[in-house]
A = this chain, B = another copy of it.
Amino acid sequence: MAVYTEVSDEALRAFLAEYEIGGLLAFRGIAEGVENSNYALRTERGDFVLTLYERRVDPAELPYFLGLMDHLARRGLACPTPVPGRDGVALRELAGRPAAICTFLEGVWPRRVRPEHLAPLGEALARLHAASADFAGSRPNALGPSGWAPLLEACRARGEEVQPGLMAQLEAQLAAILAAWPRPGALPAGQIHADLFPDNVFFLPDAAGRPQVSGVIDFYFACTDLLAYDIAVCLNAWCFEPDGGFNLTKARALMGAYQTVRPLAAAEAAALPVLCRGAAIRFLLTRLYDWTHTPADALVTRKDPLEYLRKLRFFAQVESPGAIGA
């Protein structure tokens, strides 16, 4: 899906001449990714991924994203490392768009999440949080609590077509979430991935065949927010079965492994249910926005917003953090 911009031979050659990565050996579009154009690039020095940033990405935010990836990679986290040109600059321009080359990561993202994925995921997430503790940049979470009411408004005109009564239901849920949301400073904050879905985490088996995280990709929703909110995103994205059931075994494996690296404060554990409701409504609202603003037969696959209404309802009836693995 993800080649929106074609790159001419001359432009590519001139672009690569700005790097010290050797001659071009292969260049193919990558189907994964929805926001940007991605190419698998092979040069005499190895394999890379070339990304052209498309309209949904604000060019002013790219230094934050690339800087964070560079920072994490230097601290040993397996994530794409921006490759600088000869002048030391990683963020460049190609075919009229901001563009960057990053290292290629081996691994395969799980099409079906198994319980064995959750502990390595939890550990990798905690390492990401720990490694970013001394990162100097910051970026507000545009899709955080302050963004949810405007998103809901933007969906109002056609949201009822998705399910009658949906708007009133979401308004009530949103009001309850915002009322219970942790006050600024109440919980540890830092750089979070904010979109750690299974297709953004690559795994490879170790010698015993157990999955290990070989790479975390797609930092283009990363921002500065509550660290525990990243766990809430993962509980939403990794711990529900296809039939809608919440898999507590998976949640416990995630939380247990996370806490071997960074133990949760009591206030974080206590806040987890409302953070999970927040994460659920965040993905519900962006999906609902895309659903109501994208033609049914458009190029981009629309994801069902109601999947997250079911998750929101699940988290809304959780009585204690222990019920979701905290």
Q: Give the number of times this chain occurs in the complex, counting copies.
A: 2
- 1/0 per residue, CB under 8 A from B, across A29-41: the answer is 1111000000010
- Give the residues in chain B near A298, CB-CB below 8 Å: 297
Q: Is A112 an interface residue (CB 8 A)?
A: yes
Asked if B31 contacts A29 (CB within 8 A), the reply is: yes
Among B7, B27, B107, B114, point to the contact of A26 (Cβ < 8 A): B107
Interface positions of A from 39 to 87, Cβ below 8 Å from B: 40, 42
Among B7, B23, B25, B28, point to the contact of A30 (Cβ < 8 A): B28
Asked if B3 contacts A112 (CB within 8 A), the reply is: no
Task: Tell me the nearest residue of chain B to A2, going by C-beta.
Answer: B31
Which of A28, A32, A40: most chain B CB closer than 10 A? A28
Task: Tell me the nearest residue of chain B to A31, going by C-beta.
Answer: B29
Asked if B30 contacts A111 (CB within 8 A), the reply is: no
Q: Is A295 an interface residue (CB 8 A)?
A: yes
Q: Is A136 an interface residue (CB 8 A)?
A: no
Task: Tell me the nearest residue of chain B to A29, going by C-beta.
Answer: B31
- Give the residues in chain B near A24, CB-CB below 8 Å: 108
Nearest Cβ on chain B to A160's Cβ, whole angstroms: 24
Among B1, B106, B107, B110, point to the contact of A1 (Cβ < 8 A): B1
Q: Is A204 an interface residue (CB 8 A)?
A: yes
Among B6, B106, B114, B204, point to the contact of A111 (Cβ < 8 A): B6
- 1/0 per residue, CB under 8 A from B, across A281-311: the answer is 0000000000000010111000000000000
Q: Is A22 an interface residue (CB 8 A)?
A: no
Nearest Cβ on chain B to A167's Cβ, whole angstroms: 27
Asked if A9 contacts B110 (CB within 8 A), the reply is: yes
- Give the residues in chain B near A23, CB-CB below 8 Å: 205
Interface positions of A from 246 to 288, Cβ below 8 Å from B: none
Among B3, B25, B108, B205, point to the contact of A27 (Cβ < 8 A): B108
Asked if B111 contacts A7 (CB within 8 A), the reply is: yes
A residues contacting B by CB (< 8 A) are 1-3, 6-10, 12, 23-32, 40, 42, 104, 106-108, 110-112, 114, 202, 204-205, 295, 297-299
Known: A2-B31, A29-B30. 10 other contacts (CB 8 A): A7-B111, A8-B112, A9-B110, A9-B111, A9-B112, A25-B106, A25-B107, A26-B104, A26-B202, A297-B299
* 28 chain-A/chain-B pairs, Cβ below 8 angstroms: A1-B1, A1-B31, A2-B31, A3-B31, A7-B111, A8-B111, A8-B112, A9-B110, A9-B112, A9-B114, A10-B112, A23-B205, A24-B108, A26-B106, A26-B108, A27-B108, A28-B30, A28-B31, A28-B32, A29-B30, A29-B32, A30-B30, A30-B31, A30-B40, A295-B297, A297-B298, A297-B299, A299-B299
